[in-house]
Amino acid sequence: MKHELPVLPYAADALNAVISPKTIEFHYGKHHQAYVNNLNNLIPGSAFENASLETIIREADGGIFNNGAQVWNHTFYFMTFSATPQAEPTGPLADAIVKKYGSFADFKAAFAKSATTLFGSGWAWLVLRPDNTLDIVQEPNAGNPMRQGLKPLLTCDVWEHAYYLDYQNRRPDYIEAFWKIVDWKIVSERFLKQ
Ligand code: MN
């Protein structure tokens, strides 16, 4: 099975207030594409030749896990954004956030702290636990919470390649801006699809 780079549902300059076309060109056009290419080069003849990315994330190790998870993680990340996002959660997801974190502002502060303090490269995630409560988890490198049986709802890529062209070493500024393009309609759809 050949994996493909997904087409983004927005133009390269659509997120310009937060993520420049140059970052889209490199992060999506080169890094994301490279993970797709690496995975396609690694799987022929392996147990994962015809496996879904979700199976690879749950069961693979080494290069197949790293590249397969990075393909999935980047697609999930880029597909969260919109040039005209719903700025806040509503309905059951909003209720779950308030129940766990007290308020949407307190949730954003907790998520930002997780993303800021993640040492080195990795991903901060909002997840749904098997008991239907929310949680925020850090995953290093290509890590994905599905490997621990958690359902991803939202992620922020804090590898330097995600923000260095636009924010250099100012990761907190990137994370603060990140909220401007997160489409909570998309996050809510993930939450409700259980
Ligand atoms: Mn990345």
The tokens describing 129, both together, are 């636990």
C-alpha–C-alpha distance, residues 89 and 137, integer Å: 19
Distance 180 CA to ligand 1 centre (A): 18
Q: Mind listing the pLDDT tens digit for each residue in 29-45?
A: 999 999 999 999 999 99
Distance 158 CA to ligand 1 centre (A): 7
C-alpha–C-alpha distance, residues 119 and 177, integer Å: 20
Distance 68 CA to ligand 1 centre (A): 13
Which residues of the chain are modeled with pLDDT < 50? Answer: none
pLDDT at 194: 66
Distance 108 CA to ligand 1 centre (A): 21
C-alpha–C-alpha distance, residues 89 and 36, integer Å: 32
Domains and CATH numbers, the chain: 21-78 (1.10.287.990), 91-192 (3.55.40.20)
